A and B are shown apart, each in its own frame.
Chain A
């Protein structure tokens, strides 16, 4: 029975339970993630991080969230009333919606009902995530425009350009996965990875997806839409209170969603990792166990987000666009052509994997040989100084030696009287305190 058929006869109450469960999962993950991020980045920077509220400071983000909700809601005079209100809502809803197609686990029994740990399995599941992220950009763009001030507008323009360019790279990186799994449905993609993760088989796709997912969620080092040092707060400069909280929530939920999609597409989804999957004839792939593996893999990607933020400086805008359009997009196009050629050969000509690997090895070997034989490019240092035979720098021919400065006779400083010296000393002491 496929997941789609399994989910089709879910009663309404079960769907509601799943909806509430996913919502709660995402909100809790957001609260956890903010705290985790602050703690990990703090650890990387040799400082303690939040440690006051709750056990070990783990309730800090809850307290912050509550405080944020009760702050004064300010709307700038120049803001466009309705769009200003609508923007955070638009950015938040698709973020939650995208998670509905992510398979959290396999077949389970919930309250006597046989079902799968997934809200819905559409035949076009992966496209749902892409569609949601493309609608989510509206929230950012509209918030920037509606604020009626220059910094948010700049942030919004950057964000629009950024998300559109990186969505192309993201879409292209998914194509190879779809070619191998023969389906756009997320559950089918997980099923296709039973024998091996796509992260190994399609490593370039995986790499491109991981880079573009960071760009897609506006996270460091690609956080140009909200670059603090350039744009104050970027698109959400003018937002406060609950509306700002919604943007915050949307950003973190988006991170969880793209991480979950990365897990699903490349790391075998809810399937147990290799040594564990062999235990007891795959007993760890049944029941509620998959949820554990899924969350663990998602947390791995979330840690990657934090790690990147703690490590890399923000890219300049032109560097960022160059990376997207000149490296990621052509790279994935070439990779797709390679993958489809190999697949076509395999189906038409009956090549075995061994033959393919031999051909691949020979090609790589030839490339390596050629790269070794290529002469090194001579680097000319423009600022190099000609050296004498002994190794000392030769002075330039037009060197002008400055005239010697006439020496001034230094007058002996007048020593103040004893009494005055005491008072100045006292004053200086006062100044220090």
Chain B
């Protein structure tokens, strides 16, 4: 991909601002439909994880489009931050929720659809307006100059971020920190309080000081049954109470009488001498 990118823009410095090279056009006509397909797929996919994957496709296409338009830093940051971190968190949550859960159609917030429709139309108006202005009034200057002068693309982005745009930049980071701190407060549980979560070490120590160090006896000690419902039997033939499951009805002990007898050696055994017939 990267080799292709470089091949697509052979003479970075000489390119005029408003000329679209063949390579750029090819890249656009491949990536544009891909991004669009991703967006549509996200809307119409039934499974939430599939939706997220379609969105990933869109974000990747956008990232590559940025690279083609001489903004390699923006392109890779798009991939690292959006595709790598944010969508991964989305997927994380979706997987925790479970694969078969579907959206609830009950409206929880009143008037939510109306507000969404109004805001959506408003946003579309803004996008169309700014797009129209960009296509008609603004003169494109291209990134060729910025990418070559004064340390190149990355250095120039850094300079403008930390001089001209320092305040908005810091404001954004304050916003993100607020969100992170809020999430931490919501998820915080006092470890030292009464209902505090025990650490793994405390749990281990508790277990070792408790009644039973090892695991509970497994069910079904006989080859005749290994179901959870079959209780474990102690050496004297009685049922081990720890092996009984609270939720599952255990097999009645009487049904295991034969097994017990067999183990205890009191059962009727086939006599090997019986084959010889009656002793004469």
* Chain A residues positioned under 8 Å from B199 (CB to CB): 318
A182 to B199, CA, bound (A): 45
- Among the stretches B29-37, B70-78, B225-233, the one at the interface with A is B70-78
User: Once the chains bind, are B72 and A131 in contact (CB under 8 Å)?
Assistant: no
A164 to B10, CA, bound (A): 35
The one of A15, A80, A148 in contact with B3, judged by C-beta atoms closer than 8 angstroms, is A15
A12 and B53 contact, Cβ closer than 8 Å, known pairs A123-B152, A164-B88:
no
Instruction: Give B10's nearest chain A residue, CB to CB.
Output: A8
* Chain A residues positioned under 8 Å from B123 (CB to CB): none
B145 to chain A, nearest CB (A): 15
Interface SS, B side: helix
A7 to B5, CA, bound (A): 12
The one of A101, A122, A130, A145 in contact with B95, judged by C-beta atoms closer than 8 angstroms, is A145
User: Once the chains bind, are B152 and A127 in contact (CB under 8 Å)?
Assistant: no
- Among the stretches B79-87, B209-217, B240-248, the one at the interface with A is B79-87
A134 beta carbon closer than 8 Å to chain B? yes
The one of A12, A127, A153, A160 in contact with B80, judged by C-beta atoms closer than 8 angstroms, is A127
A255 beta carbon closer than 8 Å to chain B? no
0 or 1 for each of A105-141: is its CB under 8 Å from B? (1 = yes)? 0000000000000011011100110110011011001
User: Once the chains bind, are A135 and B95 in contact (CB under 8 Å)?
Assistant: no
Interface SS, A side: helix
* Chain A residues positioned under 8 Å from B99 (CB to CB): 80, 145, 148
* Chain B residues positioned under 8 Å from A15 (CB to CB): 3, 7
A183 to B91, CA, bound (A): 33
B22 beta carbon closer than 8 Å to chain A? no
A40 beta carbon closer than 8 Å to chain B? no
B188 to chain A, nearest CB (A): 15
Instruction: Give A145's nearest chain B residue, CB to CB.
Output: B95
User: Once the chains bind, are A120 and B84 in contact (CB under 8 Å)?
Assistant: no
User: Once the chains bind, are B76 and A128 in contact (CB under 8 Å)?
Assistant: yes
A298 beta carbon closer than 8 Å to chain B? no
Q: For residues 122 through 173 of chain B, which have their beta carbon under 8 Å from a beta carbon of chain A? A: 147, 151-155
A134 to B80, CA, bound (A): 6
Chain B residue total in the interface (Cβ 8 A): 37
A134 to B81, CA, bound (A): 9
A123 and B53 contact, Cβ closer than 8 Å, known pairs A131-B80, A160-B92:
no
Q: How large is the interface on A (under 10, 10 to 19, 20 to 34, 35 or more residues)?
A: 35 or more
User: Once the chains bind, are A12 and B79 in contact (CB under 8 Å)?
Assistant: no
Q: Give the residue among A97, A167, A184 with the most B Cβ atoms within 10 A.
A: A184
A325 to B53, CA, bound (A): 28
A144 to chain B, nearest CB (A): 8
A19 to chain B, nearest CB (A): 7
A135 and B49 contact, Cβ closer than 8 Å, known pairs A127-B76, A182-B151, A318-B200:
no
0 or 1 for each of B40-81: is its CB under 8 Å from A? (1 = yes)? 000000010110010010001000000000001100110110
A124 and B76 contact, Cβ closer than 8 Å, known pairs A8-B10, A15-B3, A135-B83:
yes
B1 beta carbon closer than 8 Å to chain A? yes
* Chain A residues positioned under 8 Å from B72 (CB to CB): 122-124
* Chain B residues positioned under 8 Å from A164 (CB to CB): 84-85, 88-89
User: Once the chains bind, are A7 and B83 in contact (CB under 8 Å)?
Assistant: no
* 18 other A-B residue contacts (CB within 8 Å) besides A97-B2, A122-B6, A157-B96: A80-B99, A101-B2, A123-B72, A123-B154, A127-B73, A127-B80, A131-B84, A134-B79, A135-B60, A137-B88, A138-B88, A141-B88, A141-B95, A145-B91, A160-B92, A161-B92, A164-B85, A164-B89
Closest 3 CB pairs of A and B: A134-B84, A127-B76, A131-B79
The interface of chain B, by Cβ under 8 A from chain A, is: 1-3, 5-7, 10, 47, 49-50, 53, 56, 60, 72-73, 76-77, 79-80, 83-85, 88-89, 91-92, 95-96, 99, 147, 151-155, 199-200
